[in-house]
Amino acid sequence: MTETRTTATTTTAGALDGPAILANARAIAPLLRAEAEGNARRRRLSQRTVDALRTAGVFRISTPRAWGGPEVDPWTQVEVVEAVAQADGSAGWCVMIGASGGYFASHLAERAARTLYRSLDAVTAGVPLPGGKLEPVEGGYLLTGRWPFVSGCTHADVVIVGGVVPPAGSPAPGEPPAIRVAALPADQVTIIENWDTTGLLGTGSHDVSADDVFVPADHTFTWDETTRDEPLYAWTGMFLVNHLGVPLGIARAALDAAADILLDKIIAPEMRPARDEPRVRVAVARAHALVGSARSYAFDVVADFWATLTRGERPSRRQRAALAGAYVHTARVCREAAELLADAVGTSAVFRRCALERHRRDLATACAHLTAQDRFLELVGGLWIEGADLDHPLAAGGMI
């Protein structure tokens, strides 16, 4: 069925820079926490949540200064996503996806980009992988297909999807198919409500479909096409960096939730405070170290990568390996920390009403993403090993 969506309006007064947006994200945390359970039940973000996020300015963090946007540096972007995810993992995930418009717009001609992104606070959703077909017609393409896991589609303004372009003639043997990415208004796709998962329930990551939807040629792009020369848009895969903020924020919330439980928990039959139990103390200490070390490593890698881009240089193979590897490492380590905490607090963590239980499920679902899986690590290992074959679409397209 087709879902009613909110529309973008610029609700934030005046220009906002990265620190101001980060402060706003932290300020709305109580509202986000209050809405989190309801978001999970309805399998989408509430109108209150979306409005608060728009007003805070979190969806504009990747928009260029040339548009009046903040063009926030990548590690501050990660902090913004982290702050939202600490309040509600689903909201953090939606911000991570929804705030990527500036990156995708950098592949479009200025006029087309501004036609699609009419507001700095416009929200993007989509899967830029080829789940459909782009049939060439006069002036553009007819888009047909179905794409899964379109997080935030219920409140998006722009949808990004990939499609295969059929060859004009007979392709040469072994020639890969031509792939383009289409950007279109969100009301031109149909939402298929099938998001019912272990965690991140509030993201509304339903499938979307299109059936012979016309897309103007200048609303499509390939990854090697770019129209901006600012450092933030100099590396195609920069839109993935915000992924780091989601597990870090959820893991921090898990640490807080465990601390709240351990304030009053009594272990039976000894009838002693859980906070005095050695195994509990060890687990809490390990969990803090895991999350803290993962965060330090992630920020160190992002800062090094960003310094290279701001010098106008191309990141080295080793820098690419470190950044891509940080995605997997951060997600998995944060999940490990949450599991340690759940084991430490025991049965208190099995109830649905327990915040720690929700954080565990959210991290488990986040780790199902490609960037947290072994097949992604295989590419990372190929980057670390000089001379290894990197014949893979993600490497060829500059994603890693």
| pLDDT tens readout for residues 273-304 | 878 788 989 999 999 999 999 999 999 999 99
In the chain, which segments carry CATH 1.20.140.10? 234-396
pLDDT value, residue 10: 41
Cross-strand pairs, 132: 145, 163
Tell me phi and psi for residue 220, to 5 degrees. -125, 160
Q: Quick: pLDDT tens for 198-256.
A: 999 999 999 999 999 999 999 999 998 899 999 999 999 999 999 999 999 999 999 99
pLDDT value, residue 259: 93
pLDDT value, residue 6: 41
In the chain, which segments carry CATH 1.10.540.10? 18-109
Position 89 pLDDT exceeds 70: yes
Q: What is the dihedral of CA 184, 186, 187, 188, to 10 degrees?
A: 40
Cβ-based neighbour number of residue 140 at 10 Å: 17
Position 8 pLDDT exceeds 70: no
Position 105 pLDDT exceeds 70: yes
Tokens 């995810």 correspond to what residue?
85
Q: Quick: pLDDT tens for 368-380.
A: 999 999 989 999 9
pLDDT value, residue 15: 72
Q: Quick: pLDDT tens for 379-396.
A: 999 898 987 777 777 766
In the chain, which segments carry CATH 2.40.110.10? 124-221
Q: Which two tokens stand for residue 267?
A: 């272990």
**pLDDT band at residue 30 using 50, 70 and 90 as cut-offs:** very high
Q: Quick: pLDDT tens for 31-70.
A: 999 999 999 999 999 999 999 999 999 999 999 999 999 9
CA separation for the pair 330, 318 (Å, rounded): 18
CA separation for the pair 45, 49 (Å, rounded): 6
CA separation for the pair 74, 88 (Å, rounded): 21
Domain 234-396 has CATH 1.20.140.10: yes
For residue 219, give the amino acid letter.
Answer: H
Position 11 pLDDT exceeds 70: no
Q: Helix crossing, 29-42 with 74-87: angle to 10°?
A: 70
The fold of 124-221 is: Butyryl-CoA Dehydrogenase, subunit A; domain 2 (2.40.110)
**pLDDT band at residue 4 using 50, 70 and 90 as cut-offs:** very low
Tell me phi and psi for residue 113, to 5 degrees. -60, -45
Position 7 pLDDT exceeds 70: no
For residue 394, give the amino acid letter.
Answer: L
Q: Quick: pLDDT tens for 298-329.
A: 999 999 999 999 999 999 999 999 999 999 99
Position 9 pLDDT exceeds 80: no
DSSP string, 81-120: HHHHHHH-HHHHHHHHHHTTHHHHHTTS-HHHHHHH--ST
The fold of 18-109 is: Butyryl-Coa Dehydrogenase, subunit A; domain 1 (1.10.540)
CB 38 within 8 A of CB 227: no
Cross-strand pairs, 273: 266
pLDDT value, residue 257: 95
Tell me phi and psi for residue 141, to 5 degrees. -140, 155
pLDDT value, residue 287: 97
Q: What is the residue-averaged pLDDT of the chain?
A: 91
Q: Which two tokens stand for residue 148?
A: 């899964």
Name the DSSP letter for residue 2. Answer: P
CB 186 within 8 A of CB 208: no
Cross-strand pairs, 208: 147, 191
Count Cβ atoms within 10 A of the Cβ of residue 224 and give its class: 0-12 exposed, 13-18 middle, 19 or more buried.
exposed
Region 184-206: mean pLDDT is 96
**Residues in contact with 91: Cβ distance below 8 Å, sequence separation at least 6, in sequence order:** 32, 35, 36, 39, 45, 49, 53, 84, 85, 202
Position 154 pLDDT exceeds 70: yes
pTM equals 0.92
pLDDT value, residue 174: 64
pLDDT value, residue 86: 98
